[in-house]
Structure 1
Amino acid sequence: MGNGRTGDGTPRYPDAERLALVEERHGLAVRDPYRWLEDGADPRTDAWLRAQEELYAASRPAWRVDHWRTALASLHAVDLYSPPLTRAGRSFFSRQLAGEEHPTLMVASHGQDRPLVKPEDLDPTGLTVLDAWRPSAEGDLLAYQLSSDGTEESRLWVMDIATRRVLDGPIDRVRRSSVAWLPGGTHFYYVRRLPPGPHPGEERYHRRVFLHRVGSHPDEDIMIFGEGRDRAQFYTVSVTADGRWLSVAATQGTDRNTDVWLADLTAGPWHAPALRPVQEGVRGHTRLRVAPDAVADPPIWLRTTRGAPYGRVMTATPATAGGEWRELIAERPGSVLTDFAVLTGARLPRPLGLLSWVRHAVSEITVHDLTDGTQIGTVPLPGAGSTGGLAVSRDGGHEAWFSYSDHLTPWTVLHYDGLTGTTRSWHPQRSVVAAAGARTRHVAFRSADGTTVRMFVVSPEGRPDRPRPAVLTGYGGFGAPVVPTYSPEALAWVRAGGVWAVACLRGGGEEGEEWHHAGRGANKQNVFDDFAAAADHLVEAGWTSRDRLGIAGGSNGGLLVGAAVTQHPEKYAAAVCMSPLLDMVRYELHGLGPSWRPEYGSADDPGELRTLLSYSPYHRVRAGTEYPAVLFTAAEADTRVDPLHARKMCAALQHASPGPGPVLLRHERDVGHGDRALSRTVALQADCLAFLAAHLGLRV
């Protein structure tokens, strides 16, 4: 396999055999010339990958990577905390101080902070991450989950918090399971996959809810829910602070509709809870809160999109939850309800509800009297940014904690006092990022069908002063909102003189559940049209020009980039496509693909196959087309989006494109789709920005 350059200066790509493979699916001819690259264990694939790594290594020295690595390391050098979880006078939180590779799980009591789980101590290589954790109701035990090498395949342990002695574990096949402790800390409910034996090739599915006794072998755990249900269902479990009420929620893959069940644990044994449906088989995303009240029929509050696509709060009791719900806080058209928390402290004259909303991607938190739902105020925020999940004391009280960020402000934890209505910083911030040199502007434009779409544009002047090298990014899927958050990549790019734009596309959750449905399944093309319209707006408004416009996205955003490159290659000068989904005919056969059928559809359905083929980037590559410069990034241990997508698409574009822009693959062998060590994050981001800068003319 030869690398280097041809006589006309275009790259000489590694040889990749093109198969004359054509399959007929529902009367359609589906070509797949690089099927062999799906097999990561094939020696031919390994040889091809090593040749791609050599080509990448030979191309990289011209990109000024060191500059970007230094700039990004400086912007990442901030202290990061999570909101605390309180248990019996102890506060548990994660903390990652500037320069540390991973967050450390901490416990605070009697004015002292103490580390409990520090991944860097457990694995000096930096390849182990803390996936999830949950303290017991009494605050004396901790269930925590770790995974290694990027696989996200968590294993669960139980620790005695006073001594840090491991009491139980590892329990495998949990993958960031929710954990619901029962009183006394002897048992907890959790979610675990079945052993792979009976279901070859389906090792990442077949989840069940189990009851585990601390110290026992996991094979002795008692299954309490999930038998006979669809293999791709996901479950979450929770138990109220008093240990009385168990709730189980189920979703079909990544579908946002939820089924919810509730059981009174005082009415029967823990190992056989009488779960009764609260919501089942209807359209609506629902989460419930049970009042921390030791009464026979306590209030239940339900945050739901059932009958209200923007979200509202309903109320019921355990006796009526399966039927009659009463509206407490109405839907606010245009504002999406994203979280709900309850303050019930003895010093409060009545219970308070905190509701987190997103309006056109900007957050607001309102305060309500839960006796009648009346809004009585708002929670002060530092600016027009984003808030994370609301955390309140499990034992009740008048305090709440939440994270806040915007494009120029790193994530910080704020404390809200329900007695005074004031907000303050919860922890000292030793490191401060200067926001000078960057301004954010919120703009609107029209998509191809006339729909109004919004976008955040971060630039040196806050206005289009001249065509600058610009990067456009987006996501547009799974109902996930793209909101203003701190981005070292964006700040580094803007400080170097560029423009960074983030489009809020259909398929996301910025404008409610109907916005999501307008960009999924048969409507997926709307997402790509919105993105193309965003690119056009940046050029027409004078922010940039075609020869200076690049695009970037990861995961579902990688699909977005792949579709943009193959549908409108003339609109872009460069593209970075990270951990992408690109072969939409065979995506269901790999990684977590079966979980995504509610979002994309299935190739097993004739109509849905036609939709998938209409935009599948891998199948839209056309020989002789001049595509922009493209950098693919892939992680070999990715268990969500199989790296085969990047491999096949890279080979297809290298064969098809006459240049001059290179098509390159950045391949990592020991990381995955999710969390990684900070130094690995900086290295990846630096390479991507350096590639974009080299091809968009951003001089540093």
Structure 2
Amino acid sequence: MNFKPILLTAGALFSATFYAQKMNYPKAVKGNQTDTYFGTAVADPYRDLENDSEATKKWVDEEVAYSQNYLSKIPFRDQIKKQLTDIWNYEKIGAPFKEGNYTYYYKNNGLQAQSVLYRTENKTKTTEVFLDPNKFSDKGTTSLSSLSFNKKGNLAAYAISEGGSDWNKIIIIDAITKKQIDETMVDVKFSGISWLGDEGFYYSSYDKPKEGTVLSGMTDKHKVYYHKLGTKQSADQLIFGGEKTPRRYLGAGVSEDQRYLIISAANATNGNEIYIKDLKNGGDFIQINKGFDINANIVDTKGEDLYIFTDKDAPNMRLVKTSIKNPSPENWKDVIPETENVLGISSGGGYFFATYMVDAIDQVKQFDRSGKLIREITLPGKGNVGGFGGKEDEKEMYYSFSNYITPGTTYKFNADSGKSEVYQKPKVKFNPEDYVSEQVFYTSKDGTKVPMMINYKKGTKLNGKNPTILYSYGGFNISLQPSFSVVNAIWMENGGIYAVPNIRGGGEYGKKWHDAGTKMQKKNVFDDFIAAGEYLQSKGYTSKEYMALSGRSNGGLLVGATMTMRPDLAKVAFPGVGVLDMLRYNKFTAGAGWSYDYGTAEDNKEMFDYLKSYSPVHNVKAGTCYPSTMIITSDHDDRVVPAHSFKFGAELQEKQKCANPILLRIEKNAGHGAGRATDQVITENADLISFALFEMGIKKLNK
């Protein structure tokens, strides 16, 4: 690196007088709202914070000012931000992809707010900017959220997100001239864009909530529309969903050969139906599977053959083949059968690429359409791969490889020869040879073995005094695999340890691992996280005074539940954009779709009692010393609405017994996380690292 590393030293703690100062938090409006569940009255004194009222806005502004005032007093905050800025400032180039006569790729010069999409004409080799999201808004807070070309590559439609909102706009352009050719479409949410020929495309949306309820109104009836170019959005044809076939989540896609329209329909984040329509031969939709007991996705088609990736009778997933003539599950035949390791599938060049996850580490095998093994692909090391996908006629494709101490490198791969070569290696100011990334297995409360990756600088002494971030997620079948982050690089460069346990609720070991962290087994997730912290402390990696808990979204729930269950486990806590009110999460926007993982308080008394027993908002107890806490949220988060964080923060500020601060870091003009401007991301992480070290008692940082 080109800067002098900061050496983290414990130093002397700030004086008791400093910590004992009265915090004098902003006062939220407190009411006497009470709800009754199965005969049990539950107080909700901060219900007003769910509303976008003037009182809430005033309180938010006061909390923002309060937190910034506290953070501004951290003496090394600017140093940390400079280090992050320096390491972030390197050229980032994405894998190229071909559309029509052009090859496209994303590039960020280093600190641009958003990456720019370039293209090169394949014959003349001239390169130009195709789309520059930095020009979408003054502050770089409008992002490009999706892009889709028609099969010829002469038409394109792209979706933009303003301020991080899940509500998008779609802009349609002539891809050759780059000029807009249709009206801007509005109020599109959780949608793909799938073209049919040159005349139009399919997309999905909900009815927009009433004015003032964007962060509270439920969105539970998805609709698939067809937009014909040159017509008004108001005239778009409803294809599926709405009142006739109500489903909470709908995705529509046209097969690569343009023959089939495929609909995936779901009411929760797990389990879906598949519907298919033969656009070539006509007829109505055919429902391939009924009910929501399985996950299934058509990943490829060839003539009348359909290739389906599914967990039916295969908790670790398998690839099957069936025919459009008899597509129901009893006719599915294995192409790539289930194994003991979780399977992921992609296709390209006429092949299938099977990515197997072995203790959260990837292995890749290449198969032909009959399921014959072509080769096992040699990867650069132990880590996480992405890519190995493309159009059927493309033999050259790309994949990326990274782990916690290896910056993501892009490789070019020839599907026929199996040859790989480096395509783009980032010039990050980081030397992997100076670091250790080790995997351990520890025992959770009920005896379950759980893997954890522990990452740190070589020479670190296991003396219990190393600042440590314990990060995890634990839900929705999402797997945490090794990946490089410049934020973690700065943390480790300065002597910190970054530990990631692969706790239950994730997908690292298939459906059984996921289900073991859902509904009435959700506390397994928190137990696994707590056991990871205890392991790190027992082995001398760190101790309570030097540990920070971190997680976002469902991981924010993980941190909120852990710190209320075990306030003595860590010194610092970062519940980020978290689901924190488990009795009312399903009342907001798309929250009802999370019920597979959580259950709802209305299900039955047993489920209500269980949710209430760990719901962070409802388990803050007066007279308890909670960790120094920075609750992270955004004012435009319409997925996990900020009311969760507001209510949790108000409860903690009211009931905190000791001088450990409770801050709400509320990002303006941002949403759940995607699409944020680079400076927003750098500033937030500088605050996170600085706050963690400061609260761990770091008095000053040695240059």
Q: Does 1:693 find its partner at 2:693?
A: yes
Supply the distance in 1 between the matched residues of 2:558 and 2:452 (Cα, whole angstroms).
16
* Deviation by residue 1:421-454 (Cα, 9 ceiling, x = unmatched): 1112334645564335432111110110001111
Decide whether the 8 Å contact of 1:232 with 1:595 is kept in 2.
Answer: no
Q: Aligned-pair distance for 1:458?
A: 0.7
Correspondence for 2:516: 518
Supply the distance in 2 between the matched residues of 1:186 and 1:14 (Cα, whole angstroms).
55
Correspondence for 1:57: 68
Question: Where in structure 2 are the equivalents of 1:156-167 lying within 5 Å?
Answer: 156-167=170-181
Decide whether the 8 Å contact of 2:221 with 2:243 is kept in 1.
Answer: no
Decide whether the 8 Å contact of 2:462 with 2:539 is kept in 1.
Answer: no
Supply the distance in 2 between the matched residues of 1:233 and 1:217 (Cα, whole angstroms).
25
* Deviation by residue 1:525-567 (Cα, 9 ceiling, x = unmatched): 0100000000000001110011111111111111111001100
Decide whether the 8 Å contact of 1:10 with 1:659 is kept in 2.
Answer: no
Identity among equivalent positions (%) equals 27
Correspondence for 1:324: 331
* Cα 1:7/1:387, change in 2 over 3 Å: closer
* Deviation by residue 1:228-280 (Cα, 9 ceiling, x = unmatched): 3675521222222321122111122322x121122211112xxxx52212222
Instruction: Name whichever of 17-26 and 438-447 sits farther off.
Output: 17-26
* Cα 1:275/1:86, change in 2 over 3 Å: farther
Match of residue 168, structure 1, among 168, 182, 190: 182
* Cα 1:248/1:579, change in 2 over 3 Å: same
Q: Does 1:404 find its partner at 2:401?
A: yes
Q: Does 1:671 find its partner at 2:670?
A: yes
Instruction: Name whichever of 686-695 and 426-435 sits farther off.
Output: 426-435
Decide whether the 8 Å contact of 1:574 with 1:695 is kept in 2.
Answer: yes
Instruction: Name whichever of 235-244 and 670-679 sits farther off.
Output: 235-244
Question: Where in structure 2 are the equivalents of 1:147-158 lying within 5 Å?
Answer: 147-158=161-172
Correspondence for 1:44: 55
Q: Does 1:311 find its partner at 2:309?
A: no
AA partner of residue 219 (structure 1): S
Q: Does 1:127 find its partner at 2:134?
A: no
Correspondence for 2:577: 579
AA partner of residue 499 (structure 1): I
Supply the distance in 1 between the matched residues of 2:243 and 2:61 (Cα, whole angstroms).
44
Correspondence for 2:3: none
Q: Aligned-pair distance for 1:568?
A: 0.2
Q: Aligned-pair distance for 1:369?
A: 3.1
Supply the distance in 2 between the matched residues of 1:609 and 1:284 (Cα, whole angstroms).
26
Instruction: Name whichever of 425-434 and 315-324 sits farther off.
Output: 425-434
Instruction: Name whichever of 669-678 and 108-117 sits farther off.
Output: 108-117
Instruction: Name whichever of 359-368 and 400-409 sits farther off.
Output: 400-409
Q: Aligned-pair distance for 1:89?
A: 4.2
**1:588 partner SS:** helix
Instruction: Name whichever of 613-622 and 8-17 sits farther off.
Output: 8-17
**1:415 partner SS:** strand
Correspondence for 1:623: 622
Question: Where in structure 2 are the equivalents of 1:50-449 lying within 5 Å?
Answer: 50-63=61-74, 64-110=76-122, 111-183=125-197, 185-194=198-207, 196=209, 202=217, 204-228=219-243, 233-255=248-270, 257-268=271-282, 274-292=284-302, 295=303, 297=304, 299-322=305-328, 323-333=330-340, 335-344=341-350, 352-371=351-370, 373-393=371-391, 395-427=392-424, 429=426, 431=428, 433-449=430-446
Supply the distance in 1 between the matched residues of 2:211 and 2:70 (Cα, whole angstroms).
47
Correspondence for 1:638: 637
* Cα 1:433/1:112, change in 2 over 3 Å: farther
Decide whether the 8 Å contact of 1:104 with 1:115 is kept in 2.
Answer: yes
Say which structure, 1 or 2, has more relative contact order (CA 8 Å, 6+ apart): 2
State the Cα RMSD in Å: 2.3
* Cα 1:199/1:12, change in 2 over 3 Å: closer
Supply the distance in 2 between the matched residues of 1:215 and 1:491 (Cα, whole angstroms).
50
Supply the distance in 2 between the matched residues of 1:545 and 1:229 (Cα, whole angstroms).
57
Supply the distance in 1 between the matched residues of 2:407 and 2:19 (Cα, whole angstroms).
48
Instruction: Name whichever of 517-526 and 668-677 sits farther off.
Output: 668-677
Q: Aligned-pair distance for 1:206?
A: 2.2
Supply the distance in 2 between the matched residues of 1:573 and 1:425 (Cα, whole angstroms).
43
Match of residue 605, structure 1, among 603, 616, 620: 603
AA partner of residue 88 (structure 2): H
Supply the distance in 2 between the matched residues of 1:432 and 1:214 (Cα, whole angstroms).
47
* Deviation by residue 1:558-613 (Cα, 9 ceiling, x = unmatched): 11110011000011111112111111111112232122122211121223211210
Correspondence for 1:347: none
* Deviation by residue 1:104-144 (Cα, 9 ceiling, x = unmatched): 22333323333221111222321210010011100111110
Match of residue 447, structure 2, among 441, 447, 450: 450
Instruction: Name whichever of 105-114 and 604-613 sits farther off.
Output: 105-114
> How many residues are paired up?
675
Decide whether the 8 Å contact of 1:441 with 1:463 is kept in 2.
Answer: no
AA partner of residue 556 (structure 1): N
* Deviation by residue 1:30-57 (Cα, 9 ceiling, x = unmatched): 121222222232x332332233223212
Correspondence for 2:462: 465
The runs of 5 or more residues in structure 1 that have no matched partner are: 345-351
Decide whether the 8 Å contact of 1:98 with 1:431 is kept in 2.
Answer: no
